Structures are given as structure tokens and as C-alpha cells.
Amino acid sequence: MSAIPVTVDRAGLWDAETLSDVAAATFPLACPPDLASEDIETYIDEVLSDERFGDYLNDPDRTVLKAVADAQIVGYAMLVAGGPRDPVVARVIEPRPVLEISKMYVLPGHHGTGVSTALMAAALDHAHSDGCAGAWLAVNQQNARAQRFYTKLGFRTVGTRTLTVGSTVCDDYLMQQAF
């Protein structure tokens, strides 16, 4: 696919429902292929609902960026300030202060069009402008495509963690980039 014009901007409360729809369409793509659909649905209901996005958009420690192409939100990134709260993560993430790229998803019809690159550039610009010394993220260990993308952009694997999706414990790699 070829690059398309994309604008990345801060999302507002009015975007919560659309962001939730994008999250529901994209989150399953990042999950292990053998993860039960019931677990994915539970996670979407509990973590990615429009109500939860309303909470995220009102949280002063979070910034949600939206990627817009053809007048539609086609992806988003959620950034979390304040350093890792999980002690397992805090032990391996080195730069301080550091920004977490908590979620970054793009609709499948827009993969390979530059949307992910634009979102990541905006996320890293946000970290720089906030005076961070780096950024970190977690990626499922079976999501090789995302791992290649993050590695290409300068992230390196520094550890692992688990994430419960529904009733299943999934394994993530922790990746960081120091500036």
C-alpha cells in the first residue's frame, strides 16, 4: 500500500465512542492467535469501551492521539506519563523520566500506509516535548509484525511481563527507546 495523507492530533471527549470502535476492531489483531474470543471480548468490554475512553481522555496523566485519514479516525495511540507503575516493569525500564506508549493500533485497511509511523512520530515528539529521556511499550510476544516495526524505529527488548486478557495470562516483551 502507498502512503496516504494522515493527520495526528490530540483526541477529545467527543472522540471516545469512535476510539472505542477502532480499539474493538484492532485489539484482536494484536492478540495471540489461540486466545479465546470470549477473553478478547471481556478485555474490550472492560478496558476499551467508550466509557473507559472517556475516563482515559479525562485522565491528566494520559494523552490519546488520534490518526485521521479521509476524515475518519483510523488509528490511535495512548500515552501514559509518570513512569512504570508495575514494579516488574519499573525494574527493567531505564530512562527517567519515561513515557509509556500504552496502546497503538491502526485499522487493518490502513496498515502499511504510514499511519503507524505518523502515530509513533507524534508519540515520540510528545515524549520529547514533555522532557522525557525515553519511551517504553509492551508488545505481545507472538506479535512479530509489531515487534519488527518497533525495532525498526529504535526500540529494543529489555524484559518481559504478563498481561491478563479475560481469563488468560499473555506474555509481552517490554521494549524501550532512550533518547
Q: What are 164-173's pLDDT values in tens digits?
A: 999 999 999 9
Q: What's the whole-model pTM score?
A: 0.95
Residue 128, pLDDT > 90, answer yes
Quote the pLDDT of residue 135. Answer: 98
The whole-number average pLDDT for the span 55-83 is 97
Distance, in Å, from the CA atom of 147 to the CA atom of 157, rounded to the nearest integer, reads: 9
> Residue 103 is inside which H or E element, if any?
strand 98-106
First to last CA, the chain: 30
Whether a cis peptide bond, with omega within 30° of 0, leads into 28 is no
Q: How confident is the model at residue 4 (pLDDT cuts 50, 70, 90)?
A: confident
Instruction: Name which of 115, 116, 117, 120 is nearest 99 in CA terms.
Output: 120
Domain ranges for the chain, please list them: 7-178
Q: How confident is the model at residue 1 (pLDDT cuts 50, 70, 90)?
A: low
Q: Strand pairing partners for 162?
A: 171
Contact 104, 153 (CB under 8 A): no
Q: How confident is the model at residue 65 (pLDDT cuts 50, 70, 90)?
A: very high
The whole-number average pLDDT for the span 104-119 is 95
Fold of 7-178: Aminopeptidase (3.40.630)
